[in-house]
Structure 1
Amino acid sequence: MKGHTISYLFLEGLKSLWKNRLMAFASVATIVLSLLVLGMSYAIANNFEYIIGQIEQKIGISVYLNDTLSDIQTAELEKKIKSIPNVSQVSYITKDEALQIFAGEDIVLYDEFKDDNPLPASFEVRVNQIVNQQAVVEQLMQLGLEVNFFQAETDIFISLNAAIQFFSSIVIIILIIISLLLITNTIKLTVFVRKKEIEIMKYIGATDSFIRVPFLVEGISIGIIGVIIPTIVIFRVYDVVARGLSKVLIDVVGGIYLRPIETIMVGLVPIYIVLAIGISMLGSIIALRRHLKV
């Protein structure tokens, strides 16, 4: 196919898009609504997983130290703990720091025990993933250390994280399938409405490629518009909502944040492109194939 023919067919596709703008609008609206619902579900599921991950990181293991340990012994012990697989962070808490944490803002309580502090120094150990916490605890106990950690809370978060990942994956897959069906059926309807136009072109000798290219241009154009609109909407809405919710989370929980908008978009936009542009093209090809057999 020659260059000027391709240019002509491309322009014909754009003209046809404007000529049949009501059907094009219906197609774009279907794509936009489908992708908006999918985008919101994706952002919510992604942030639930992200928040759970942050909370997991706050659940640590306390390793209590004997008061008779020297500074050298404490430093050597810290090295051993850091060398344990899946340990991501080790923080040393002195006896005085432990008392300050325990007393909080109660100055009287702090003054009462500061000269005879019953609390031991400790290491606060964080693991890279909460599912690895039990294995780390077992290795710490093998070193003969007194260990304290929240077994019940750990089990809850492991189960909760697994459940969120499972259900969010199911929901997103269902939404993708629904979006795919809606987009494909809308494209098929668009082609069916113009069945007569296709038949006339076939009867006057137009080749399949000559008929197909303008429809593909329409499908791609509809897909591009269908991607741009929900991408902008999700970007703007998420940015506003995330700022508000982040303030609430910081005030209520402390140190908990939502995923940056850039991270959400990096994962979401490729899905949008495949669904909108890819399915629009595929829908046009499938729908045209039937009507080209005249």
Structure 2
Amino acid sequence: MIRRFFRHLWESILSLKRNGWMTIAAISSVTITLTLVGVFASVILNTAKIATDIENNVRVNVFLRVDSTDNQETTVNDMGETVDNENYHVVYDQITELENVESVTFSSKDDQLELLKQKMGDTWSLFDGDANPLYDTYVVDTSSPDVVKTVAKQIEKINGVAKVEYGGVNTDNLFKLAQNIRIWGAVATVLLLFTAVFLISNTVRITIISRSREIQIMRLVGAKNAYIRGPFLLEGGWVGLLGAVVPALLVYFGYDVAYRGLNPSLIPQNLSMIDPTYFIPAMIIALFVIGIIIGSFGSVLSMRRYLKI
């Protein structure tokens, strides 16, 4: 059994050499197809990843009333004395007790103004001090994006809250867009793989047709179907393996360049592409596996008509 396997392996290698131009054509077809698979899969998977990140970045902004002292441990009474604040964290505690609330972070109106200055320029310096029209805010992170709307409605009912924002209709549309990207991305990936199977199988079939006489001679001398099929199965695997080399190299070098060029601009927005430490090896392995499987089974399926009695 082992001896037969190595015989078939050696015959498959010699066959690749004997059928030089057809072998090159088959490998080229696999290379082009797997390159498209690698590029489109990388784009689709990273688009879905960024869409998920955008979803996860949606937060509930809770604006406190102008006179709120919810985040002040002490306050000044009518006598001018500093005393403990009886209303300290009244709103905060009610928010944290809600189901699906993971964390609550306080952001003062002065912090909000500083953020506006960084984004919009020093024009907002006019509102420093008592002229600041902004609100003290609690930024609420939920356990999942799906519950943001529900949590926002619950917080609106809490006494001491001026208003609540989570994006409203825009956020709902964002969730739908992210879901559509994931669904259509998966559909596009599957269709691309089916296209790859079709193209590679047809290319392998051409090489089989060109060697139909060789198959018929082997049958005439009494060779069994399994014996005839063995070298072609391995030969198809070699074609898929060799055809995956160039796409694997493109993924290895190209994705790293794309990651270093694009990811820095995404990080400030709490977005990120898929980490190349995990993505590149997984994608390379997937390309080789797809190439070998499609090449091998393409050979077997293409030979069926020549092995029928």
The TM-score range, normalised by the shorter chain, is: 0.7 to 0.9
Residue in 1 aligned with 2:15?
16
1:139 and 2:154 aligned: yes
Q: Which runs of 5+ in 2 are unaligned?
A: 74-84
With over 3 angstroms needed to count, the CA separation of the structure-2 counterparts of 1:83 and 1:21, relative to structure 1, is farther
Contact residue 130 and residue 154 of structure 1 kept, 8 A? no
Please tell me whether residue 244 in structure 1 is matched to residue 261 in structure 2: yes
TM-score by length of 1: 0.85
Aligned pair partner of 1:224 in 226, 232, 241: 241
Q: In the alignment, does 2:166 pair up with 1:167? A: no
User: Conserved in 1, the CA contact under 8 Å of 2:197 and 2:294?
Assistant: yes
Count of residues paired in the alignment = 291
2:202 pairs with 1:203: no
Q: Deviations over 1:122-157 (max 9, x none)?
A: 211133543321112122224343312321320231
Rounded to whole Å, the distance in 1 between the matches of 2:10 and 2:105 is 66
**Structure 2 counterpart of 1:257, one-letter code:** S
- Match in the other structure for 1:233: 250
- The answer to whether the 8 A contact 1:246-1:257 is kept is yes
CA distance in 2, matches of 1:269, 1:170: 21
2:148 maps to a residue whose letter is Q
Report the TM-score when normalising by structure 2. 0.81
Aligned residue among 269, 288, 291 for 1:276: 291
CA-CA distance at 1:271 after TM superposition: 4.4
CA shift in 2, pair 1:109/1:217, >3 Å: closer
> What does residue 55 of structure 1 align with?
54
- 2:279 matched residue in structure 1: 264
- Greater fraction helix: 1
Q: Report how far residue 94 of structure 1 moved.
A: 2.3
What secondary structure is seen at the aligned counterpart in 1 of 2:62? Answer: strand
Identity of aligned residues (%): 26
Query: What is the CA-CA distance between 1:92 and the residue it aligns to?
Result: 1.0
Extract unaligned runs of 5+ from structure 1.
none
| Preserved CA contact (<8 Å) 2:13 2:235 | yes
Tell me the alpha carbon deviations over residues 235-257 of structure 1, each in whole angstroms, 9 at most, x when there is no partner.
2112112222234546xx74433
- Look up the match of 1:45: 44
1:30 correspondence with 2:21: no
Matched-pair contact (CA < 8 Å) for 1:57–1:128: no
Instruction: Report the counterpart of residue 130 of structure 1 in structure 2.
Output: 145
2:136 maps to a residue whose letter is A
Q: One-letter code of the match for 2:218?
A: M
Letter in 2 for 1:138: K
Q: Contact 2:62/2:138 (CA < 8 Å) preserved in 1?
A: yes
Instruction: Tell which deviates more after alignment, 177-186 or 12-21.
Output: 12-21
Query: Bigger shift: 69-78 or 146-155?
Result: 69-78
2:200 equivalent among 183, 190, 206: 183
2:46 touches 2:274 (CA, 8 Å); kept in 1? yes
Structure 1 residue 93 and structure 2 residue 107: aligned? yes
Contact 1:103–1:110 under 8 Å retained in 2: yes
Instruction: After TM superposition, give the deviation of residue 181 of structure 1 in Å.
Output: 0.5
- The alignment partner of 1:256 has SS state of coil
One-letter amino acid matched to 2:69: T
RMSD: 2.8
Q: Match of 1:158?
A: 175
State the secondary structure of the residue aligned to 2:244: helix
